[in-house]
Amino acid sequence: MSTEIDLSQYLNAFLEETKEHLQAFTQALIDLEDADEERAVEVLNAAFRAAHTVKGMSASMDFMNMEHLCHSMEDLMDELRSGSRGVTPELIDMLLECSTKLEELTICIEDNGNDDIDVSEVLSELDKVKGNGEGETAEDKPEKKEKADKDEGKSKQDSEKKVESEEGKGKTYEINISVNKSCDFKGVRSFLALKTLAEIGKIVKTVPSQEDIENEKFGFKFKVILVTEISDDEIKDALASVADLEKVEISGEAVEVEAEVAEQEKEQKKKDLKSEVAKSKDKGKEAAVKSVRINIDKLDSVSNLVGELVINKSRLIQIGREHEIEELGSTMAVVERTISDLQYEVTQMRMIPVEHVFNRFPKLVRDLYRAQGKEVDFILKGKEIELDRTVLDEIVDPIVHLLRNAVDHGIELPEGREKAGKNRKGRIALAAKRETGHVTISVEDDGKGMDPDILREKAVSKGLLLTDEVAKLSDEDAFKLIFMPGFSTAEKTTAVSGRGVGMEVVKTRVEALGGFVDIQSEMGNGTKMVLKLPLTTAIIQALLIDVCNKTYAIPLSNVREIISVLKNDIKTIQGATVITLRGSILPLVMVQSLFGLFGNDNNGGHNHKDKFVVVVVERSEGRIGLVVDTALEQQEIVVKPPDEHMQGATGLGGFTILGDGCVVPILDIASLTLA
C-alpha cells in the first residue's frame, strides 16, 4: 500500500500548530524559573510535551534539523524530569535559545518550504550543557555509538525492513486509533499517524481506506493492519509523537486479515449510510464540524461588503424620510436591524484575544532584564480581551517599545532598589482592559519614575526646544516630550535604547489607528503608559460637524465633550488661540481656517459670531478644542482611506460616504496643527 503523499498540503496546519506549541514551550520555561517544587513538575512536563509534539510533527514532515534539535532538547529536559539536574537560570537561557532557533526554523519553513538552517552550534551547546563535550566521540558512550550506527544505517534498515515485511515476516497487528473529537485537523493527525506506522512496518490495510482517512471521511476512529517486527509498546511510543491521538489500542496477531478487513469496510459503509440518513432526518442537531479556519483576506472582503451595505442602508433610510414612504420605512426597520446584526457578527469574526500577542512578550522581557543584570516579575492581565486583527497586528511594535522602555529606563538594578527600600525584584505589568467603545493596553512598572526636570534639560540639550519654552511646560506636558523625534534620556546608544525613535514609533502607530497614548508617572514609584485603542478601524462611530456649510466627521473615540463658548472667552496667548476650561488652558483649532473655508457672509465666517461650538477632543499631546459651526449628529460611518495623492495631508484621516451620497472628510485628530 503506497503512502507517498504530497506533504505540502499539510504545511499550513503544521506551521500554525508548531507556532502554538513553541509559544507554549517558551511560556512553560519562563514559568519554570519561578515555580515551586510541585508546580515545577507540571510546568516541566508541559514544556516536554510541547517539544515532543513538535519533534514528532517535524519528523513526519521530513524537517530533520527541527527534529534533531527537539530530540536533543528532550534529552536535557529528561535530566531535569529525573531530578539528576536542577533548574538554573543558565539552563533556562539555553532552552530559550533553542526555542529561538526553533522559531527561526519555523520562519524558514514558512518562507522557503525547508528547514535548511545550521543548528550545529546550538546542538553543540546543548551537548556541552549535558556534559558531552567536543572531545567525546560516539565510541566513548555505547548509547551514542548505537544511535550513530542507527542513523548511519537508517536507509539500509528501512530497506531491509520493507523487504522482510513484503515477504510476510514480522508480526501482524490490528491497531485501533481514536482522534480527539476537539481536534481541528483530524485528517492531518490521521495522515501523520499512518506515515509514522509506514516508517516502522508495512501497512496492509486501513478501515476506512487511506484516501478516505486523509480526506476526513470518517468519524474519529480508524483501524490499521500493520506488519512489523517491533513490539506493540514500541508502536505506541512511535505514535506518541502524533498530537491529538486520544487512544491507541493494539491487539496481537491478526488472523484472516483480508476477510476481516472486507467485513469491517462493509460495516463501516453501513454506519456511514445510517449516519447520513440520521443527519437528513434530524437537521436540528449540531454539525460535526463546529469551526472552520478562514483566511484574513476573505474576512477583509466580507467586511468591505458589509461596509457598502451600511452606506446604502443610510441612503435608503434617508430616502424614506425625505419622501415619507411608509412601506419603505417599515421595511428598512427590519433591514437596518439585519444589517446591524450582520455587521456585529463580521466584526466579532475579526476579533482575536490579545493573548495571541501577549504570550510572546515574557521571553522578550526576560532576555532584556537578564542582559542588564536586573530582576523582574512580569505579569500579564486581561489576555482574554479581544481586538480587531488589524489593530492587534499594529500594536505589537508599540508594546515592544514600551516594555523595552520599562526594563531599560524604569526598573532599577537590584542593589539600587534595595537602597531605595524596594524589593530587589522589580515589577512590570502588561494589561488589557475593555472600556466603553475602546480597549486600553497599559505597561506599568514600579521603577524610578520619570523626572520632568531631566526631560526638560534633555529637550534643550538636544536642540528640540528652547529654555524658555520648556520652562512653561507643566510636569504632565514635560512627560510628553519623550514622543518628540530624536528624544532620548539614554547616556549611550545600546541594543535596547538611546536612538530616540522608540516612543515616537509608539505615538505614530497608535494615532494611525485612531487611538492615543497617555502617560502617568511619579518619581520613585514608577510609570504607567496607557494605549487607548478603537475596537476596530473599518466601521466606527463618528460625530458629524458643520463648518461653513460643509460636513466633516470626527471619530467619536477622540471626542470628550461639546461646549458652547462666547467670543469674548477666546484669548490669544503668545500667538496661540485658547480658552480657559475649568481652570485649565485649552488650545483651540479653528477648523474653518485649517481648511481655508468661508461662511455665508463671505467675510471670514466666524468673524462676526458671538458664540462658538467647541468640540473637545483628546490626543497623545493632550486635549484641544475644535471650533465648528454646529455639532450635527452621531452616526456610524465606514472609513475609506485617502488615496495616495492625499495621504499625509494635515488633519485628514480618510473619507466616508453618507446616506445622501455626499463624500465627507474624516478629521485626523493627531495631525491637527494648532492655530
Query: Read out DSSP for 286-337?
Result: PPS-------HHHHHHHHHHHHHHHHHHHHHHHHHHHHT-HHHHHHHHHHHH
Query: Percentage of the chain surpassing pLDDT 90?
Result: 25
Sheet holding 652-657: strands in order across?
Answer: 630-638, 539-547, 550-555, 663-667, 652-657
CA distances from 493 to 391, 408, 453, 465, 500 (A): 30, 12, 22, 22, 9
* Domains of the chain: residue spans and CATH: 7-152 (1.20.120.160), 157-277 (3.30.70.1110), 296-349 (1.10.287), 353-534 (3.30.565.10), 539-671 (2.40.50.180)
Nearest to 114 by CA among 187, 179, 65, 176: 65
Cα 179 to its chain centre, rounded Å, is 28
Annotation marks residue 74 as catalytic: yes
**Local confidence band at 9 (pLDDT 50, 70, 90 cut-offs):** low
Secondary structure, 3-state, 388-406: EHHHHHHCHHHHHHHHHHH
Cell of 467: 529654555
10 Å Cβ neighbour count for 450?
A: 22
Of 52, 68, 356, 409, the active-site residue reads: 52
E-strand spans in 51-210?
Answer: 171-179, 202-207
> Residue 1 contacts by C-beta under 8 Å, 6 or more apart in sequence?
202, 203, 204, 205, 206, 210
pLDDT of residue 301: 84
Residue bearing the bigger pLDDT, 277 or 519:
519
Give residue-wise pLDDT tens across range 543-587: 999 998 899 999 888 899 999 999 888 888 877 889 999 888 899
Annotation marks residue 132 as catalytic: no
Helix (H) or strand (E) holding 517: strand 516-522
Give residue-wise pLDDT tens across range 497-540: 544 456 888 888 888 888 889 999 999 999 999 998 887 777 78
> 190-204, 395-409, 571-585, 588-602: which range is least confident on average?
588-602
For residues 23-50, give the mean pLDDT: 88
Nearest to 30 by CA among 423, 352, 261, 362: 362
Q: Is 565 in contact with 579 (CB distance < 8 Å)?
A: yes
Q: Is the confidence at residue 150, as pLDDT, over 50?
A: no
d(CA 352, CA 396): 14
What's at 589, amino acid-wise? V
pTM of the model: 0.64
Residue bearing the bigger pLDDT, 67 or 350:
67
Q: Is 596 in contact with 585 (CB distance < 8 Å)?
A: no
CA distances from 543 to 14, 27, 88, 529, 654 (A): 46, 44, 57, 27, 14
Nearest to 402 by CA among 433, 431, 436, 370: 431
pLDDT of residue 1: 41
Give residue-wise pLDDT tens across range 81-128: 888 888 888 899 999 999 999 999 999 998 888 899 999 999 998 888
Please state, rounded to an integer, the average pLDDT across all residues of the chain.
Answer: 80
Question: Rounded to 5 degrees, what are φ and ψ at 462?
Answer: -90, 5
d(CA 658, CA 638): 9
For residues 31-43, give the mean pLDDT: 86
Residue with cell 485501533: 176
**Local confidence band at 603 (pLDDT 50, 70, 90 cut-offs):** very low
Give residue-wise pLDDT tens across range 305-328: 888 888 888 788 878 878 888 788
Q: Is 534 in contact with 514 (CB distance < 8 Å)?
A: yes
Nearest to 346 by CA among 393, 298, 286: 298
> Residue 457 contacts by C-beta under 8 Å, 6 or more apart in sequence?
none
Q: Is 614 in contact with 577 (CB distance < 8 Å)?
A: no
Return the bridge partners of 388, or none.
351
Q: Are strands 221-228 and 171-179 parallel, antiparallel or unpaired?
A: antiparallel
Secondary structure, 3-state, 147-191: HHHHHHCHHHHHHHHHHHHHCCCCEEEEEEEEECCCCCCHHHHHH
Of 21, 405, 412, 444, the active-site residue reads: 405
- Angle, CA 86 vertex, CA 80 and CA 87 arms, to 5°: 85
Sheet holding 611-619: strands in order across?
Answer: 559-566, 611-619, 622-628, 584-590, 576-581, 571-573
Instruction: Give SS3 for 603.
Output: coil
Of 12, 33, 71, 74, the active-site residue reads: 74
Nearest to 669 by CA among 650, 641, 648: 650
Cell of 575: 500667538
d(CA 484, CA 482): 5
Instruction: Give SS3 for 93.
Output: helix
Sheet holding 171-179: strands in order across?
Answer: 202-207, 221-228, 171-179, 245-251
Q: What is the DSSP string of 551-588?
A: EEEEEGGGEEEEEEEEGGG-EEETTEEEEEETTEEEEE
- Angle, CA 303 vertex, CA 297 and CA 309 arms, to 5°: 145
Cell of 672: 491637527
For residues 158-183, give the mean pLDDT: 65
Q: Is 117 in contact with 108 (CB distance < 8 Å)?
A: yes
Helix (H) or strand (E) holding 458: helix 452-461
d(CA 654, CA 668): 8
Helix (H) or strand (E) holding 225: strand 221-228
Annotation marks residue 295 as catalytic: no
10 Å Cβ neighbour count for 674?
A: 14
Query: Percentage of the chain surpassing pLDDT 70?
Result: 81
Count of all residues that appear for the chain in the document: 675
User: First CA to last CA across the chain, in angstroms?
Assistant: 79
Residue bearing the bigger pLDDT, 127 or 437:
127
Question: Rounded to 5 degrees, what are φ and ψ at 191?
Answer: -60, -45
Give residue-wise pLDDT tens across range 452-506: 999 999 989 888 888 888 888 888 889 988 888 878 766 555 545 544 456 888 8
Q: Is the confidence at residue 43, as pLDDT, over 60?
A: yes
Buried b (16+ CB within 10 A) or exposed e, 70-98: bbbbeebbeebbeeebebeeebbbbbbeb
